[in-house]
């Protein structure tokens, strides 16, 4: 398969650099007039995919909101991934897996093996058992043409106590993760497949080298307070590789399909304009 970074660059250039989250939490289901059950989960997910999968570049389903329903929820997630990819959207599975050895390998096989019913174009992973613990996922992603998004500088306030901690060599943990990813992406063109999660709400990040030759998944646009216009100031020269994630800002307009499409298009246009002006 063509590497994820290449496919993502093409999707961003043709469909716009927007990732829409699929986050069917109970309050959102209720706001759509749906019950917090399998039928509501299925209706919600199908509506989002049918409305947007032929136009947005990336979907990011949050696995936890499906897993909470057990095996039937997982079945809905499998169908959601398959339908989204069949319509041409890329799928980043937001599962934030992180472990060691055979367990990490099993997580990788779940989401990054083409034979798995949950095979996704990319997976979010946590490196805080040491970056080297991710090796099974890195290796399988390379083999299958998939990608990873590694938690580096997240938007939650608690993240700073780990990610901004300074090592004995004077470099922060977050900067170390970015350096590892730059090494993974060395020589890749037009863009590597190993990205970082970097919050759009973090303000000036000029002290970090975000030029990892890979994508930067940026939560925080919309409900969390960041705007498309903030992106150049936060990401600097790396802004062209930013994939802003919007969840509630789009999903609150459901279940009306036309309103979902209009909202997603508005965000995509705002992001295009901000990136072009950088």
Residue numbers annotated as active site: 96
Could you tell me if 244 and 266 are in contact, meaning their C-beta atoms sit under 8 angstroms apart? no
**Looking at the DSSP assignment, which residues form a beta bridge with residue 93?**
123
Give the closest residue to 137 by CA, choosing from 148, 126, 151.
Answer: 148
Is 197 in contact with 243 (CB distance < 8 Å)? Answer: no
154-160 contacts at long range (C-beta below 8 A, 24 or more positions apart):
154/197, 154/198, 154/199, 154/219, 155/199, 155/200, 155/201, 155/202, 155/219, 155/220, 155/224, 156/199
3-state secondary structure of 216: strand
Q: Which residues contact 130 (CB under 8 A, 6 or more apart)?
A: none
Rounded CA separation 92/225 (Å): 22
Give CA–CA dist 180/158, Å, rounded. 22
């Amino acid at each position: 398969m063509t590497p994820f970074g290449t496919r993502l660059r093409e999707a961003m250039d043709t469909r716009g650099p927007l990732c829409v989250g699929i986050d069917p939490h109970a309050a959102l289901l209720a706001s759509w007039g749906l019950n917090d059950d399998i039928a509501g989960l299925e209706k919600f997910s199908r509506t989002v995919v049918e409305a947007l999968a032929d136009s947005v570049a990336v979907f990011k389903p949050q696995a936890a909101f499906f897993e909470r329903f057990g095996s039937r929820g997982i079945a809905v997630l499998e169908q959601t991934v398959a339908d989204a990819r069949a319509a041409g959207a890329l799928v980043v599975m937001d599962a934030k897996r992180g472990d060691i050895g055979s367990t990490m390998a099993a997580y990788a096989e779940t989401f990054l093996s083409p034979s798995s019913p949950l095979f996704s174009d990319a997976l979010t992973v946590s490196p805080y058992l040491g970056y080297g613990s991710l090796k099974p996922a890195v290796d399988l992603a390379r083999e299958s043409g998939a990608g990873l998004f590694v938690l580096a500088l997240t938007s939650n306030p608690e993240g700073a106590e780990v990610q901004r901690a300074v090592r004995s060599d004077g470099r922060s943990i977050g900067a170390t993760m970015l350096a590892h990813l730059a090494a993974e992406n060395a020589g890749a063109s037009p863009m590597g497949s190993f990205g970082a999660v970097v919050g759009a709400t973090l303000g000036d990040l000029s002290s970090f080298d975000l030029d990892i030759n890979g994508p930067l998944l940026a939560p925080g646009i919309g409900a969390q307070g960041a705007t498309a216009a903030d992106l150049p100031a936060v990401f600097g020269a790396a802004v062209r590789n930013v994939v802003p994630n919007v969840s509630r800002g789009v999903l609150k307009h459901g279940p009306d399909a036309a309103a979902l499409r209009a909202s997603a298009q508005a965000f995509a246009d705002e992001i295009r304009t901000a990136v072009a002006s950088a």
